[in-house]
Structure formats: structure tokens, C-alpha cells
Chain A
């Protein structure tokens, strides 16, 4: 069985400061890992994905994530937060059978 734990339900940062959203996963297989973003009253948009190629993955809007197998982590980072980054972020693990497991989500607040 596979699962995802997002370690923070809410993260608050000031505009221009770094963002760190933490995700740990559990999987019996070599997983694919994703980060999705959901802006208020919107659907889910793919930020980035890891699929067993490079362990440092770059996504849209300046976000990136690093796959660390030894720590079973896939934390999402951004060097400098922007007001438009305020949203809910979901870490997702997927196996070869298309079974996707979502984390509970992390709400990012960006203060001016």
C-alpha cells in the first residue's frame, strides 16, 4: 500500500521569502510523485512530477522539488514567494497501476 503525509496543514510566509512545503511518502514500488496546486475555487493544476529520472525536478512558476529516496521525501520549494502563490498544494504518489494517493493538502498563505 502507498500513502502520502504532508507534514504541515498550513504554512505562512512573507512575500519574497523562501517556501518549503514538506511531503513524505510510503510506497512498495518505485513511485511517481507529483505536486498539484489548487487556487481558490479552481481545479487542480500540475506543478511538477518526478518519474525516476533526475532527482531534482523543476516545475512551473519557479517551484522545484527534490526526490530523496533515503528519506522517502519529496519536498516542494521556491526561493522567493509571490502573492499569487497563495493556494492549496497537494503531494501525490502514484504506482504503476494508476493508483494515486493524495496528501491532505497544505494551505500556503503569503503575507505582504
Chain B
């Protein structure tokens, strides 16, 4: 089944304790992206990647890191989490094609609470 998977689905942690949220897709998509969803703000892009070893900042990259060592995986790293990073996080992937019409496929979400 074609899908985007994220782990963990739920995480409660404390300020300053490094964590990683994994994201994996099995559709051979070049493009991958991380978003955070906060009430009344929709989804905002954190980082994205056009292909292996190619990553770039989105709209809200502060406090986050990513890596793209393999095409299928795009982990999100919080080196020193803070309470304002409490949010619902989504990973997404898509093909890269002409015209920008390819839709993004979303993972199930990771609900992160930082105490």
C-alpha cells in the first residue's frame, strides 16, 4: 500500500531533551516536507527536500533540523525542544513534475507535547 508513515504518533517530552520524528514513504517520491499544524493557522511548512541531500527551509524552520540521506526517509530533529514546539506535525511527499500539479500525500501526524 502506498503510504507515508510517521513515528511516533504521540510523544510527550521535556524541554531540552533531543528527539527525532521519523518519516518514511514507499512511493519513490523526490519531494518531502514537514509541516506543523496549530489551531487557526492551518499548516505551516518547516523544511522541505527536493531530493537526496537537498534540503531547504520553509516558513518556520527555527528550532528544527532535517536530513535526507535516503530517498524514502526524511527525519525531523528537535535538538532542544521548547514548549512553543508543542504541535501536531505532518510529513508529506510528492512527485516532482512540471506544472506543480502533483498533490502531496500526508502521513497520519505526530502529536508532540513539550513540557
Establish whether residues A98 and B44, one from each chain, have CB atoms under 8 Å apart when the complex forms: no
Residues on the B chain within 8 Å of A46, using CB: 103
Assess whether B75 is interfacial by the CB under 8 Å rule: no
Q: Which residues of B contact A49 (CB under 8 A)?
A: 101, 103
Residues on the B chain within 8 Å of A44, using CB? 43, 90, 92, 106
Q: Which 3 residue pairs of A and B lie closest in terms of their CB atoms, listed nearest first?
A: A51-B101, A102-B42, A44-B106
B108 touches A43 (CB 8 A): yes
**Do B103 and A43 touch (CB < 8 A)?**
no
Binds B, one of A12-20, A75-83, A89-97: A89-97
Q: A36-B106, A102-B43, A102-B44 are in contact. List 12 more A-B contacts (CB 8 A).
A: A32-B99, A34-B103, A42-B109, A43-B109, A44-B43, A46-B103, A49-B103, A90-B43, A94-B100, A97-B100, A98-B48, A98-B96
Decide if B104 touches A100 in the complex (CB within 8 Å): yes
A104 contacts the other chain (CB 8 A): yes
- Does residue A52 face the partner (Cβ distance < 8 Å to B)? yes
Size bin of chain A's contact surface: 20 to 34
| Bound complex: CA A2 to CA B72 (Å) | 29
A34 CB to nearest chain B CB (Å): 6
Could you say which of B45, B48, B106 contacts A43, with CB atoms under 8 Å apart? B106
Could you tell me the distance in whole angstroms from the C-beta of B53 to the nearest C-beta in chain A?
17
Least CB distance from B10 to A in Å reads 10
With both beta carbons as reference points, the residue of chain A lying nearest to B58 in the complex is identified as: A99
B94: Cβ under 8 A from any A Cβ:
yes
Q: CA separation between A97 and B102, bound complex, in Å?
A: 11
Residue of A nearest to B4 (CB): A43
